[in-house]
Amino acid sequence: MERVGEAPADTAVVRRAPSTAPSARVSIWESVRACGVWSKEVDKAELRRQIVMPLYLRRAVAAAVKAKDEAAGVAAATAEDQAGEDAEGPAVAPVVVFVNSRSGGRHGPEFKVRLHELITEEQVFDLSVVKPSDFVHYGLSCLEKLADQGDNRAKAVREKIRIVVAGGDGTVGWVLGCLSDLYKLKREPVPPTGIIPLGTGNDLARSFGWGGSFPFGWRSAVKRYLSKASTAPICRLDSWQTVIQMPEGEIKELPYALKKVEPGDRLEISQENGTELSEKASFYKGVFYNYLSIGMDAQVAYGFHHLRDEKPYLAQGPVANKLIYAGYSCTQGWFCTPCTASPQLRGLKNILRLSIKKANCSEWEQVQMLSNVRSLVVLNLYNYSSGRHPWGDLKPEYLEKRGFVEAHSDDGLLEIFGLKEGWHASFVMAELIKAKHIAQAAAIKFEMRGGEWDRAYIQMDGEPWKQPLLQEHSTTVEINKVPYHSLMINGEQ
């Protein structure tokens, strides 16, 4: 199988994501190292010169985002006294930070205060108040408008601006999805994204060298994160669009990763994916960057998210989250499945048919499902479930035998593997055995029917939902590569 989606040569972009750590057990070391005991101290004044926008520009951006109107930002910039800033050049690499106060250990509020101390309040956005789409559509538009009016500092800031997301994988995906609108609107360049890992799994952060956990001495480590975000090189990441077609009904409690497709947008999706969309059916679409999974692991994630929202005092940090997650999985029947009752706990083969398109092929090929697989995972990155490597480092002989190629995050291919009962999943996560390798694919289609199952559980990048199923008609989930790459800051350098 040949690799697809190769990026053109570009001196400003790293062609491959950084290598990942061999085991999830490095998280504690990452936390200690990030404290800065063995690192060079970052000077606060120098950091500010490096990443802080001129005063009138950051106030203009903040005004545009708050009013949801680029004109309000332009007016604020015009009214601002710039006389004292004539000698102040634009930042080397201005950085805007998005903070999710609900992620992981809920460090968000304290973390936001610390960022205000280090940089400026106008360049820090709390995602509980400001949506990243508002920044993209109004904040960046304000800079573009000022640049069009001849403001060279605004032009330089717009060209060099970088984004840092302080949150988990779901938060990072949300921001990346909003930034991707710039491609569609032909408003490039698209700012690259760095990560401060506040989540539980942090697999995107691990994959791009930002570490797997929030450091113990985080107050001193924040300066290093920001400095690294402003200077580190850029690499590419594949993104994958998921389109769900339901014969009737609606998905309740939509996650951030998913949104309903309006009738006027169906033609565009049909043309992008080369598929026909029924006029009577309901459609949803979303984009993932790390993984999509169907089955028991998504069911456990769904229950965990609801428990965390109902009893937020339980989620006091990544360690507590993982303990709750493990305990909840034991109550859902993954480790102890009844033989006769609860058909939703048995193999996915009962409800699911899998088809794929291989690289450089236009025809769908059906793939035989193993009868005992209870969780099916589609993986884009090397890391999964808090730094585990279920696909594994496969030997060249095995790759050739199975028709696989070495996996990369920008190769235009997805890896599909299966997990059986909880015991099998536990051994896979401990890296004692490999997951059940099923296929590599450039496009994927799942067809699901209910019967005794009236629902399935699906998650994308840690955002789970309950998927209604019907016995008479199929619900389809189709995955295709987005025709452009997301840009990530390589934190490992």
What residue ranges do the domains of the chain occupy? Answer: 38-232, 240-484
Q: Spell 387-403 as b/e; 16+ CB within 10 A means b.
A: bbbbbbebeeeeeeeee
Side chain identity at 372, as an amino acid letter? Answer: N
How is the chain split among helix, strand and coil, in percent rounded to 5? 35, 20, 40
Question: Residues 83-110: pLDDT tens digits?
Answer: 445 445 567 899 999 998 776 555 667 7
Best CATH choice for the domain 240-484 from the list 2.40.50, 1.10.10, 2.60.200, 2.40.128: 2.60.200
Mean pLDDT for the chain overall: 81
Report the run of H or E that residue 227 belongs to, with start and end.
helix 218-231
Range scoring the smallest mean pLDDT among 13-17, 140-144, 263-267: 13-17
DSSP string, 106-164: T-HHHHHHHHHHHS-GGGEEETTTS-HHHIIIIIHHHHHHHHHTT-HHHHHHHHH-EEE
CA neighbor of 214 nearest in space, from 100, 290, 123, 134: 100
Rounded to an integer, the average pLDDT of 294-321 is 69
Cα(289)–Cα(273) distance, integer angstroms: 18
Given a cut of 70, whether residue 202 has pLDDT beyond it is yes
Residue 48 and residue 233 in contact, taking contact as beta carbons nearer than 8 Å: no
Question: Residues 323-361: pLDDT tens digits?
Answer: 555 555 555 555 545 444 454 445 788 889 999 999 888
Given a cut of 70, whether residue 308 has pLDDT beyond it is no
Range scoring the smallest mean pLDDT among 115-129, 187-201, 447-461, 466-480: 447-461
Residue 482 has phi, psi (to 5 degrees) of -70, 140
Nearest 5°: CA angle at 116, between 111 and 119? 115
> Is the four-CA dihedral 150, 151, 155, 158 of positive or negative sign?
negative
Q: Say which residue the tokens 């016995």 belong to.
A: 471
Best CATH choice for the domain 38-232 from the list 3.90.1150.10, 3.40.50.150, 3.40.1260.10, 3.40.50.10330: 3.40.50.10330
Given a cut of 70, whether residue 11 has pLDDT beyond it is no
Residue 195 and residue 181 in contact, taking contact as beta carbons nearer than 8 Å: no
Cα(251)–Cα(464) distance, integer angstroms: 11
Paired tokens of 106 = 């809920």
pLDDT of 271: 64
Residue 405 and residue 358 in contact, taking contact as beta carbons nearer than 8 Å: no
Shared fold status for 38-232 and 240-484: no
Cα(221)–Cα(207) distance, integer angstroms: 19
